[in-house]
């Protein structure tokens, strides 16, 4: 007979105070760590915790044969969102593609994109590819598989 296992939630460990950590370590939200994660994976998805659109993107990519790492950000965590925005802007990605209401080019990128990020963010080949709408549009047009092959996410 099979035994039912109790549900256990696997949360991240509690944050360590800054005084206790050595000065050479970096937090997950720091721009250098985010950039290294983006550049180290052919496809990566960054989304809010519990976001259904992140689940849809993951299922679509899994159906194509890509198993992307999913990194979730708490919805209330403005600090990690701000660090993510700074990492994206310093990486010179085209962040305007995922902004639904910003079609003009503003000079002050830090303030114009701060509240307009829409998750999930999909990075392909180390560059910002877009959100759910861009992934779905390229999949329906048949362009997504060649892009994933070029990035090294698909082998066949």
For residue 64, give the CATH number of its domain: 3.40.30.10
Domain extent for 41:
31-98+109-151
Is 49 domain-assigned?
yes
Is 25 domain-assigned?
no
Tell me the mean pLDDT in the region 85-107.
Answer: 47
pLDDT of res. 31 = 63
pLDDT of res. 137 = 96
- Bridge partners of 109, per DSSP, are none
The pTM assigned to this predicted structure is 0.64
pLDDT band at 114 (very low <50, low <70, confident <90, very high): very low
Helix axes 52-64, 132-141, angle to 10 degrees: 30
Is 2 domain-assigned?
no
pLDDT of res. 51 = 85
- Bridge partners of 45, per DSSP, are 70, 122
Cis peptide before 58 (omega within 30 of 0): no
Is 47 domain-assigned?
yes
Check: CB of residue 85 under 8 Å from CB of residue 110: yes
130 class by beta-carbon count within 10 Å (0-12 exposed, 13-18 middle, 19+ buried):
buried
- Bridge partners of 57, per DSSP, are none
Enumerate residues 6+ apart whose C-beta is below 8 A from 29. 77, 79, 80, 83, 84
Is 22 domain-assigned?
no
Is 137 domain-assigned?
yes
Residue identified by tokens 């925005």 is 85
Residues found in the chain: 156
Is 60 domain-assigned?
yes
The alpha carbon dihedral of 117, 122, 126, 127 has a sign of: negative
Q: Rounded to whole angstroms, how far apart are CA atoms 96 and 86? A: 14
Digit-coded pLDDT (tens) for 131-144: 999 999 999 999 99
3 state DSSP class of 27: coil
Residue identified by tokens 């970096």 is 26
- If one counts the domains in the chain, the total is 1
Is 119 domain-assigned?
yes
pLDDT band at 25 (very low <50, low <70, confident <90, very high): very low
Digit-coded pLDDT (tens) for 45-72: 988 888 899 999 999 999 999 999 988 8
Q: Rounded to whole angstroms, how far apart are CA atoms 66 and 59? A: 9
């Amino acid at each position: 007979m099979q035994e039912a296992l109790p549900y256990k939630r696997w949360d991240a460990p509690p944050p360590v105070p800054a005084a206790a950590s050595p000065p050479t370590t970096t937090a997950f939200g720091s721009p250098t760590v985010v950039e290294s994660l983006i550049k180290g994976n052919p496809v990566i998805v960054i989304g809010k915790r519990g976001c259904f659109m992140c689940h849809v993107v993951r299922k679509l990519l899994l159906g194509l044969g890509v198993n992307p790492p999913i990194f979730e950000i708490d919805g209330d965590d403005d600090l990690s969102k701000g660090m993510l925005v700074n990492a994206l802007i310093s990486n010179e990605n085209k962040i305007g593609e995922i902004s639904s209401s910003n079609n003009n080019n503003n000079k002050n990128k830090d303030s114009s994109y701060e509240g307009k990020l829409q998750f999930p963010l999909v990075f392909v080949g180390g560059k910002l590819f877009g959100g759910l709408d861009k992934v779905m549009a390229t999949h329906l047009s048949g362009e997504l598989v060649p892009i994933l092959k070029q990035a090294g996410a698909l082998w066949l």
